Amino acid sequence: MVVINEWCKGKVPVIGILTAQKKDGSIAGNAPLFIGLQKKLISHNGISFIFTLEGVHEHSIEGFTFIPEKKGWEKITAPYPDLVYNRIPFRTSEEELKNTEFFSCLRDKNIPFFNPGFIDKYELYQLFKNHPTLQSYMPATITAIHKQEFLSFLTKFNSIYLKPAQSARGNGIFKLVLDTDKKICFKGLKTSEEFLTFDHFWVEWENKLKKKNYLAQEEIKSRLYDGNRFDLRILAHAENNHYIVTGVGIRQSQIQEITTHIPKGGRLLPYDLFQTEELDLFIQTIVEQIGKALSKKLGFFGEFSIDVGISQSGQYYIYEVNSKPMSFDESEIEERKIDHLCRLFLQLTGNKK
């Protein structure tokens, strides 16, 4: 309490980072990011603390602040912060939060916050498919819950991906291929199965598809590099009523072709291998358009990442937009991320010093 109150007396920005508890009661979240933000904020004469919904009270919040001199966390009780940065890592925890009055309380207190929440993949598709700029970059997508519609979609494209509407990091993704003899080839990250007919597949998978709100998305035949597909990970942040590109990384599949995520066996490639003026312009354009579209529809987004693919014909496609970007393996992108976030914190809190 002493630490926070001393800073508050100096009229400095106080940033609250909202996360969640694990089942064992410990605090979840990206500790290196939280520590990096605290160190950078202190250099700008600010401070941050992390907290969970369990620590929120009517007039105060219990949480933890990182003390660089002690290289450790100190438990504190603080007044409500000047800004709340939503880094809840679990969708279930965020759903519980939406049923509380916390965000309403922040609005009543005129406390800015971002991001408003995880993004549902189908909600994203519906938002972008009618957008004047973004619609041309969206792969065809439907909900995978109606048998006849699903079969017609598979018949049209022959090869599709199945994705849970609410998932991240390549979890739960499958590839479905309709052979010329009408057999169904079903491929996961570690499994492969064949069904004699679509009906055989549907009998086994109907309930699973409906339970997790799966989407069916046309497969984009990706441009290859050294024989394997790759895609782009783009990190973006808000700045002065615009959205800027913080960094671009390339991820390439290696041991499987379902996803390019590093935890699933993908590898890093440098962006300059593929960088062109045309690609730079495309990235800058979609970053600005996506940021504005999301904020207008769902609430202010201060950051997000985008997964983009390039087809064999050179067409660009937007695969995913993530409101809680994972850490980038490129250290320079992570450093810029912390810089841009702190600049945004200061901007949104009025740069009080």
Q: Looking at the structure, do residues 148 and 185 belong to the same domain, yes or no?
A: yes
Q: Looking at the structure, do residues 169 and 230 belong to the same domain, yes or no?
A: no
Say if CB 142 and CB 113 are below 8 A apart: no
Name the domain boundary from 193, 218, 243: 218
Q: Looking at the structure, do residues 231 and 126 belong to the same domain, yes or no?
A: yes
* The pLDDT of residue 180: 77
Within the chain, what is the greatest distance between any pair of CA atoms?
74
Q: Looking at the structure, do residues 152 and 274 belong to the same domain, yes or no?
A: no
Look at the chain and report how many structural domains it folds into: 3
| pLDDT tens digits for range 56-107 | 998 899 999 999 999 999 999 999 999 999 999 888 878 776 656 788 889 9
User: Is 206 inside any structural domain?
Assistant: yes
Q: Looking at the structure, do residues 262 and 298 belong to the same domain, yes or no?
A: yes
The phi and psi torsions of 196 (rounded to 5 degrees) equal -65, -35
Q: Looking at the structure, do residues 228 and 289 belong to the same domain, yes or no?
A: yes
Range of the domain at 94: 2-115
Q: Looking at the structure, do residues 38 and 130 belong to the same domain, yes or no?
A: no
User: Is 23 inside any structural domain?
Assistant: yes
Which residues in the chain show pLDDT less than 70? 1-10, 97-100, 168-170, 254-266, 351-353
User: Is 331 inside any structural domain?
Assistant: no
| pLDDT tens digits for range 163-187 | 998 876 667 889 999 987 889 999 8
Q: Please, which residues bridge with residue 321 across strands?
A: 306
* The pLDDT of residue 260: 53
Q: Looking at the structure, do residues 208 and 258 belong to the same domain, yes or no?
A: no
Q: Kindly report the three-state secondary structure assignment for every residue of 73-115.
A: EEEEEECCCCEEEECCCCHHHHHHHHCCCHHHHHHHCCCCEEC
User: Is 22 inside any structural domain?
Assistant: yes
Q: Looking at the structure, do residues 125 and 273 belong to the same domain, yes or no?
A: yes
First to last CA, the chain: 20
* The pLDDT of residue 24: 84
Q: Looking at the structure, do residues 145 and 283 belong to the same domain, yes or no?
A: no
Mean pLDDT, the chain, rounded, equals 89
User: Is 347 inside any structural domain?
Assistant: no
Can you give the CATH number for the domain in which 85 is found?
Answer: 3.40.50.20
Decide: residue 42, CB within 10 A, 0-12 exposed, 13-18 middle, 19+ buried.
middle
CA-atom Rg of the chain in angstroms? 22
* The pLDDT of residue 148: 96
